[in-house]
Amino acid sequence: MPFAPASPTRVSSTETAIEVKWLPPQASDLSVTGYVLNVDDGRNTDLLPVYIGINRPDVLNFTVSSLKKGLPYRFSVQAINENGNSAQSAVSQFYACSAP
């Protein structure tokens, strides 16, 4: 299995969307072939996949939309290779809101 990537970082946010990005994990024997982005519902529930990028190792950011303003959303990312998915990254938390 690939190494887990570092936790996602926020690129931008609005009252209903958050764009996050991530970096590829440390090199392993097999190349990363994609990523899975997980997010909760803003109420500290289970992290579930919102993006599954099989055969898309070039996609390193994603915008999650249809969010509710002011809720703290938690994100993690996993790398994919021929052996399966990595463990989830450390969790990052961002709010759906606009800049003041």
CATH architecture of the domain 9-95 equals: Sandwich (2.60)
Span 57-68, average pLDDT: 97
How sure is the predictor about 99, in pLDDT bands with cuts at 50, 70 and 90?
confident
Kindly report the pTM of this predicted structure: 0.93
Domain boundaries of the chain, sorted by first residue: 9-95
pLDDT at 1: 79
C-alpha separations of 75 from 4, 31, 57, 71, 80 in Å: 14, 23, 19, 13, 17
pLDDT at 27: 74
pLDDT at 76: 98
Share of the chain above pLDDT 90, in %: 87
* Contacting residues for 84 by C-beta, under 8 A, at least 6 apart: 1
pLDDT at 100: 72
